[in-house]
Chains A and B, each alone.
Chain A
Amino acid sequence: MASHRAKWTLYHILVGALALVMLYPIIWMLMSSFKESRTIFATANQLFPQSWHFENYTTGWAGVGGYSFGMYIFNSLKIVVLSTVGVALSSSLIAFGFARLNFFGKPFWFAVMMLTLMLPADVVLVPQYIIYAKLEWLNSIKPIVVPQFFGSAFFIFLLIQFIRTIPAELDDAATIDGCGKFRLYSHIILPLIKPALATVAIFSFYWRWEDLLGPVLYLNSPDKYTVSMGLKMFLDSESASNWGAMFAMSIVSLLPVMAVFFIFQKQIVEGISTTGLKG
């Protein structure tokens, strides 16, 4: 019994130590965000600040070049909300089509969908930019948001997997009762796939919130910048060596991500485990 206990203690020490090593950079950044900027690197080995400088957060919030960090957050939220609504609606519609309907050419389009899942996005980067430039969509959120309304292969696949677990007898019963396909989708299937839609919403939130390439390419005026762009501006003005404020806003940008993660971890873990994918 005693040796069993010792084994478990050793296990927890090892696994716990690895967890600590992994988290250390994040803790270090959090602590550094309270340090006086010029002391951050001189005291990099001390975790706790000698004196707590909460003003890093207020200077950071004031932003760079006269644009407040609050505005970047608002801009990011706008993109996140529009994209998430768009991608959840369209992907569920498409997934229902693939999972529940039979039509000519379905295997072909399903294969195409699975291939786009593996397609390196770099291949369409240049032509998409050219197309958006011709449409005069540059310096707007349209190139980032509009494509989301046409579904995303990862989410379609995730939702198909989920819909397949719903018994088909349910469809038959509804059909006999005179329920059309769209009503079947909107009134029967949609309410049943809410957990999967939550997973879609969470991942869509993460990817849009953390996206940098889209904003770098398509947003030119600082009043449209997102959180990622705001942080990049801190980095670009690093010569001002306002590291404290930069770390403070980095922490602020991670807070919503962490909050969603801790609240919804069950959905996230299940979403990844059942599809076996992480886009």
Chain B
Amino acid sequence: MRYSPTTSKTKNAPLALNASYSRKKRLRANLTGYAFISPFVIGFLAFTFIPMLVSLYLSFTKYNLFADPVWIGTDNYVKMFTGDANYLNSVKVTFIYVFVGVPLRLAFALAVAMILNSKSRMVGFYRTIYYLPSIIGGSVAVSIMWRNIFSNEGIVNSALNLLGIPNVSWFGNPNASVFMLVTLSVWQFGSSMLIFLAGLKNISQEMYEAASVDGAGAVPKFFKITLPLLSSVVLFNMIMQTIGAFMTFVPAYIISKGEGGPLGGTMLYSLYLFRQAFMFSNMGYASAMAWIMLLFVGVLTGILFKTSKAWVFYESEGGR
């Protein structure tokens, strides 16, 4: 991949001529390469890198879009953790949403993928149905639907009543309301299920047969064969789903009609950030919030990758 200026393959040719020829060729190759990726490079600088620097600067200022930014040092960051109960509440709600929702979703996805990893002709049909919610789940229509199935007379309470559980006031109890968002997230397990199904298909049947011969039951097979061989897929999915979950906006915005209520019960981090920036014009404060989120997600991803050596099995490294 890297170019070393001293390599020259043809030894017989006059050295100077050869060097200048290959330098020209190299320059041409570099220019062509950059011409092709230039949309990405320009887009990255214009829409990601420079905005990130601006955001970092603004996080140390008070800025409302109309007056010039005023430098206030680390005040925004200090306020977040010491003087803003609503912020800490939104962190709490988001943690429940992410750390309950994502593991549940992945566990569900894996369980269903294992059930569907059979030779039945109906598998394609079930796979389609299970995957459908992932396709439509991000839409406003589905969030409106979710809002209504959780209403007092809605079908969720009716189902609970059938099981002998009294009505839950999903829109009155802040501790219950976050579970409207969690269930909506779990409902969309389909995309992870597809990825796990693809992974399961790659595990050779012989391994299970060998295990059966040795008298291993379903549970040891799962923990000794399925889970280790799927662990790299699980890791990657866990990271991407966690990042995605931290950014969830639409359902919280629609289900609470933009208020994050009841009493902040559905105030996901992105919604609180959105409200600070675009309803209260606290652009500096919102930028600081964004950077805390970036740092947190970065550290979490780092920890997952670092510890993955202990629990992720890479076949190419001969772990067998």
Of the residues B1, B135, B244, B297, contact of A261 by C-beta under 8 Å: B135
Given contacts A118-B240, A120-B243, A120-B297, whether A94 and B36 have CB atoms under 8 Å apart is yes
Q: Report A235-247 CB contacts with B as 1/0, cut-off 8 Å.
A: 1100000010011
Nearest CB in chain A to that of B141: its residue: A250
Alpha-carbon separation in the docked complex, A129 to B278 (Å): 10
Residue ID in chain A nearest B135 by CB atoms = A261
Task: Verify if B273 is at the interface (C-beta below 8 Å from A).
Answer: yes
A90 within 8 A of B: yes
Cβ contact within 8 Å between B52 and A150? no
A168 at the interface (CB under 8 A from B): no
Interface with A: B75-83, B204-212, B246-254, B306-314, which one? B246-254
A273 x B194 contact (CB < 8 A): yes
Contacts of A28 in B (CB 8 A): 145, 149, 155
Residues of A within 8 A of B126 (CB): 15-16, 19
B165 to chain A, nearest CB (A): 16
Question: Among residues 26 to 62 in chain B, which have CB atoms less than 8 Å away from a CB atom of chain A?
Answer: 26, 29-30, 32-37, 39-44, 46-48, 50-52, 54-55, 58
Task: Collect the chain A residues with CB atoms within 8 Å of residue B191's CB.
Answer: 272, 278
Complex CA distance for A272 and B195, rounded to whole angstroms:
7
A98, CB-defined interface residue at 8 Å: yes
Q: Report if A251 contacts B (CB, 8 A).
A: yes
Q: Is B139 an interface residue (CB 8 A)?
A: yes
List residues of chain A with CB under 8 Å of any chain B CB. Answer: 8, 11-12, 15-16, 18-19, 22-26, 28-29, 32, 41-42, 44-45, 90, 93-94, 96-98, 101-104, 106-107, 109, 112-113, 116, 118-131, 133, 147, 149-151, 156, 181, 185, 206-207, 209-210, 212-213, 216-217, 227-228, 231-232, 234-236, 243, 246-247, 250-251, 253-254, 257-258, 261-262, 265, 268-269, 272-274, 276-279
Interface residues in chain B, defined as those with a beta carbon under 8 Å from any beta carbon in chain A: 1-3, 26, 29-30, 32-37, 39-44, 46-48, 50-52, 54-55, 58, 65, 112, 115-116, 118, 120, 122, 126-136, 138-142, 144-149, 151, 153-155, 158, 187, 191-192, 194-195, 197-198, 233, 236-237, 239-240, 243-244, 246-247, 249-250, 253-254, 257, 269-270, 273-274, 277-278, 283, 286-287, 290-291, 293-294, 297, 301
Interface pairs (25), CB distance under 8 Å: A15-B122, A16-B126, A23-B132, A28-B149, A41-B153, A107-B1, A112-B44, A113-B44, A120-B294, A120-B297, A123-B55, A125-B277, A126-B287, A128-B47, A150-B40, A151-B43, A181-B36, A227-B140, A228-B139, A235-B254, A247-B144, A253-B140, A261-B132, A261-B135, A276-B198
Q: A15-B122, A123-B293 are in contact. List 14 more A-B contacts (CB 8 A).
A: A15-B126, A22-B132, A42-B153, A44-B158, A104-B30, A124-B52, A126-B290, A127-B54, A206-B135, A213-B274, A235-B257, A250-B140, A257-B136, A273-B194
Per CB-CB distance, the 8 closest pairs between chain A and chain B, nearest first, are: A150-B43, A103-B33, A97-B36, A250-B141, A273-B198, A127-B51, A127-B54, A278-B191
